[in-house]
Amino acid sequence: DAGVTQSPTHLIKTRGQQVTLRCSPKSGHDTVSWYQQALGQGPQFIFQYYEEEERQRGNFPDRFSGHQFPNYSSELNVNALLLGDSALYLCASSSLGEGRLRPLHFGNGTRLTVT
Amino acid sequence: SQELEQSPQSLIVQEGKNLTINCTSSKTLYGLYWYKQKYGEGLIFLMMLQKGGEEKSHEKITAKLDEKKQQSSLHITASQPSHAGIYLCGADHSGNTPLVFGKGTRLSVIA
Instruction: Give the chain A residue nearest B106 (alpha carbons).
Output: A40
The total domain count for chain A is: 1
Q: What does the alpha-carbon distance between residue B9 and residue B104 come to, in Å, rounded to a whole number? A: 7
Does the structure show a pLDDT above 70 at A98? no
Is the preceding peptide bond at A43 cis, omega within 30 degrees of 0? Answer: no
Range in A92-101, B50-59, B66-75 the model is least confident about: A92-101
Q: Find the closest chain B residue to A9 by CA distance.
A: B41
Between CA B58 and CA A40, with CA A2 as vertex, the angle to 5 degrees is 60
pLDDT at position B98 is 87
Q: Given this model, what pLDDT does residue A99 score?
A: 63
Residue pLDDT, tens place only, A34-46: 999 999 999 999 9
CB within 8 Å: A43 and B88: yes
Domain ranges of chain B: 4-90
Contacts of A70 (CB under 8 A, 6+ apart): A52
Residues of A (35-94) whose Cβ lies below 8 Å from B = 35, 40-45, 48, 56, 58, 88, 90, 92
* pLDDT band, very low/low/confident/very high, at B50 (cuts 50, 70, 90): confident
Please give the full DSSP string across chain B, using - where no structure is assigned.
--SEEEE-SEEEEETT--EEEEEEESS--SEEEEEEE-TTS-EEEEEEEETT-EEEEETTEEEEEETTTTEEEEEESS--GGG-EEEEEEEESSSSS--EE---EEEEEE-
Selection from B40, B41, B102 nearest residue B71 by Cα: B102
For residue B2, is pLDDT > 80? no
Using a CB-CB cut-off of 8 Å, the residues of chain A touching B101 are: 35, 42-44
Q: DSSP secondary structure string, B75-104?
A: EESS--GGG-EEEEEEEESSSSS--EE---
Question: Where does the pLDDT of residue B95 fall: very low under 50, low under 70, confident under 90, or very high at 90 and above?
Answer: confident
Higher pLDDT, B52 or B106: B106
Contact A33 B98 (CB under 8 A): yes
CATH number of the domain encompassing residue A49: 2.60.40.10
Mean pLDDT of B64-81: 94
Mean pLDDT, all residues of chain A: 94
Percent of chain B with pLDDT over 70: 97
Nearest to A47 by CA among A80, A21, A26, A28: A21
pLDDT surpasses 80 at A2: no
Mean pLDDT of the A58-74 span: 97
Chain B: residue nearest A111 by CA? B40
Task: Say if the Cβ atoms of A106 and B100 lie within 8 Å.
Answer: no
- Range of A40's domain? 5-114
What CATH number should be reported for the domain whose range is B4-90?
2.60.40.10
Instruction: Please count the residue pairs, one from chain A and one from chain B, whose beta carbons lie less than 8 angstroms apart.
Output: 57
